[in-house]
A and B are shown apart, each in its own frame.
Chain A
Amino acid sequence: MNSLIPLLVAAPLAGAALLLLGGRALDRFGHWIATALAALSFAFGLALFADMLGRDAEHRAVVERLYTWIPVDGFQADISFQLDQLSIVFVLLITGVGSLIHLYSVGYMAHDERRRRFFGYLNLFLAAMLILVLADNYLLLYVGWEGVGLASYLLIGFWQHKPSAATAAKKAFIVNRVGDMGLSVAIMLMFAEFGSFAFGPVFGAAGDASQGKLTAIALMLLLAACGKSAQVPLQSWLGDAMEGPTPVSALIHAATMVTAGVYLITRSAAIFNLAPDAQTAVVVVGAVTLVFGAIVGCAKDDIKKALAGSTMSQIGYMIMAAGLGPIGYAFAIMHLVTHGFFKAGLFLGAGSVMHGMNDEVNMRHYGGLRKYMPVTFWTFLLGTGALIGFPLLSGFWSKDKIIDAAFAKGGAEGWILGLCALTGAVITAFYMTRVVLLTFFGEKRWQPDGDGNLPHPHESPKTMTIPMIVLAFGSVFAGGLFTLGSSFLNFLEPVTGHQEGHPPFNSYVVSVIATVCMLAGVGLAYVMYGRGPVPVKAPVGSLLTRAARRDLLQDDFNHAVLVRPGSALAATLVWFDSKGLDGFVNGLAAAIGGLSGRLRRIQTGYVRTYALSMFGGTLVLVASTLLMRSV
């Protein structure tokens, strides 16, 4: 059974190789090959999951060693996969949601002439992401980490003829690189400290390492997580990443890749648990991002960017939960899975709306679409309900647990985190209700496109609606199913560990407060956007609104603090290089050249001159010999 594990990765990898190398011959049916291979990978995942459930909790983790990648004395890098409870959750999420999004893309990308390549990249992403979550050592994890970064870059810039998409792809790649640096430094520190980077030896020896070393490793891992998961301060790339095709935003920039940071922190629990300072940093990053992303999500008129802000914010919840330690790990992963369902569903819904509205993304140009796109409307509504934590839907269960855990942290810290989480819940309810109201309710504010045609919204084809319906089912039932008898928690506990939190008040009270917060947000949005007509052109807005539209000035900040000094430094170095170093080298060359020009005059070509110099030389030799003798 364990031999299925490499096949899990091999299936999409083979698909990527086939589609990217296969050429035009595959243009007509290549997308179905890719979809079938993704589904095959999902089937393998299900088989492994069933097999795993048949064993006791202690024997569920298995390691499948393929071969040694770099066999050097004292440095063993294995290609070795580890499938445990945490990995299988990710495997099922990645391949399951991945297969659905492959299916959706068949409809969404039907008219794109580079569709085959798109599916090749999607398969490449699946393979890399599976390597990331199945690796049993940090170096192989790094391979997957870079692989998903590459796939993300290729897919954000898929419509590379648009300069904005090309720039967004570069931005995502460069910002991610800062995080990747953190991961590579962390791996080097681990190797220096423990002599290994495999999970087993590192986690086993973590207890003997000094506090400072552990904190350094944990902080570097946090930096990596910030880059990949778009957390403050490396969050700026996610909004621009929406330039990619919508299925990509759903799969990579909402459901799976951006959650890799949460996986990394949860996987490295053994290190983080021993480094409380780093945990505090994780919690702060998560709490700041969850409010930050939510505020950005409120101000955006671009439907995908509003959802991107929401993604950032929800991952903030997960990171915060992961930073809380053993009281939060399992809940972070649980929220990650339910979020994977409803956020992928929401993005697919947004894609469906765009599909019907001539690729319009501005929500102020939508309105009244619920009658025209009923399936999209209902699935989107259920996804929204799940995201804002409407009672009994998925997000309600998973988010409540995180708010609970935040309060359970105890002391002033617990109160601050809990209030942050509740504030986030209010804002989340506000912006999601705003999105729904602007898109599906109110009067039609449709605008003619470039050719002067008004859009004719219509329901999307079956290949697109079926994945949305399946994901909507997930959004409704997943959370309840996981919570029932704490099944998810008990399943994950052997890997992540769990410790019951003790919030200052009963968890039912938390649920009630969270629901009241949610209703307050919904009500506020209804008052602002549901009752009167919505202006087609965005009003100027308050100072905060304007700042939030500009992503709370994050790009301006990066530009002022990093880009401009960087450019100035580069310009200075160029000047120093061209004037200083090159000047010196060129001057030396010119001096030697000039001198040589003079020296070569010695070569007159007259035999007698040469003879004279020979005589002269001989005379000097003889004279000096005599002189030396006499002294």
Chain B
Amino acid sequence: MNPVNYLYLAALLFTIGASGVLIRRNAIVLFMCVELMLNASNLALVTFSRLHGNLDGQILAFFTMVVAAAEVVVGLAIIVSIFRTRHSASVDDSNLMKL
């Protein structure tokens, strides 16, 4: 199977993730969309690794996973604490950082 198709898939997934981040209000969904984008780029990296015939992309994908795991831990903690104080998971409700 032509590996370029994987790139198309990655682009599609990334686009879905990005649109999700921009459109959805629920913090959890937003978070999942971010994961989708990360994994789309992981897919692209692995594909490039295959295309070029070396392991650089795969190593980078591992890095991404580790960072994503850390990000999930910190991000979920923030979301939970916001939910506790505001009783809402909508990101539009936390809009105090403005003049």
Contact = CB atoms under 8 A, between A and B. Distances in A.
Interface of A: 600, 603-608, 611-612, 615
A51 B70 CA distance: 99
B99 A600 contact: yes
Contact of B21 (A604, A606, A608): A608
Contact of A604 (B22, B23, B91, B98): B98
B99 A603 contact: yes
A615 B22 contact: yes
Given A606-B91, A606-B92, A607-B91, A612 B98 contact: no
Contacts of A605: 94-98
B18 interface: yes
Contacts of A608: 21-23, 25, 91-92
Given A606-B91, A606-B92, A611 B22 contact: yes
Contacts of A600: 99
Contacts of B91: 606-608
Contacts of B25: 608
B13 to A, nearest CB: 16
Contact of A612 (B22, B94, B95, B99): B22
5 contacts: A606-B92, A607-B91, A607-B94, A615-B18, A615-B22
A604 B18 contact: no
Contacts of A607: 91-92, 94
Nearest to A610: B97
Given A606-B91, A615-B22, 9 more contacts: A604-B95, A605-B95, A605-B97, A605-B98, A606-B92, A607-B92, A607-B94, A608-B23, A615-B18
B83 to A, nearest CB: 15
A137 B10 CA distance: 91
Measured as residues with beta carbon below 8 angstroms from the partner, the interface class of chain B is 10 to 19
A611 B21 contact: yes
Contact of B97 (A603, A612, A615): A603
A600 B98 CA distance: 8
Interface in B2-31: 18, 21-23, 25
A604 B91 CA distance: 13
A602 to B, nearest CB: 9
Interface of B: 18, 21-23, 25, 91-92, 94-99
B29 to A, nearest CB: 12
Contacts of B98: 603-605
A604 B97 CA distance: 8
Tell which of B23, B91, B96 has the most Cβ of chain A within 10 Å: B91
A615 B96 CA distance: 22
Nearest to B24: A608
A242 B97 CA distance: 73
Contacts of A615: 18, 22
A612 B96 CA distance: 18
A608 B20 CA distance: 10
A600 B94 CA distance: 18
B21 to A, nearest CB: 5
Nearest to B96: A605
A604 B18 CA distance: 20
A606 B22 CA distance: 11
B90 to A, nearest CB: 10
B95 A606 contact: yes
A615 B15 CA distance: 11
A615 B99 CA distance: 23
A598 to B, nearest CB: 12
A611 B37 CA distance: 13
A606 B23 CA distance: 12
A611 B33 CA distance: 13
A600 B99 CA distance: 7
B50 to A, nearest CB: 23
Closest 9 CB pairs of A and B: A605-B95, A605-B98, A603-B98, A600-B99, A607-B91, A605-B97, A606-B95, A611-B21, A612-B22
A600 B23 CA distance: 23
Contacts of A612: 22
Nearest to A604: B98
A609 to B, nearest CB: 9
Contacts of A604: 95, 98
Nearest to A599: B99
Contacts of B99: 600, 603
Contacts of B96: 605
Nearest to A602: B98
Nearest to A611: B21
Nearest to B18: A615
A612 B95 CA distance: 15
Contacts of A611: 21-22
A612 B91 CA distance: 14
B94 to A, nearest CB: 7
Contacts of A603: 97-99
A357 to B, nearest CB: 78
Contacts of B22: 608, 611-612, 615
Nearest to B99: A600
Nearest to A596: B99
A399 to B, nearest CB: 85
Contacts of B21: 608, 611
A521 B23 CA distance: 112
A599 to B, nearest CB: 10
A603 B97 CA distance: 8
A607 B30 CA distance: 11
Contacts of B95: 604-606
A495 B23 CA distance: 101
A624 to B, nearest CB: 19
A607 B22 CA distance: 9
A611 B23 CA distance: 10
A395 B19 CA distance: 111
B53 to A, nearest CB: 24
A605 B94 CA distance: 8
Contacts of B18: 615
A419 B21 CA distance: 108
A611 B22 CA distance: 7
Nearest to B21: A611
A605 B18 CA distance: 19
A594 to B, nearest CB: 14
A612 B24 CA distance: 12
A235 B89 CA distance: 89
A603 B95 CA distance: 10
A615 B37 CA distance: 12
A293 to B, nearest CB: 73
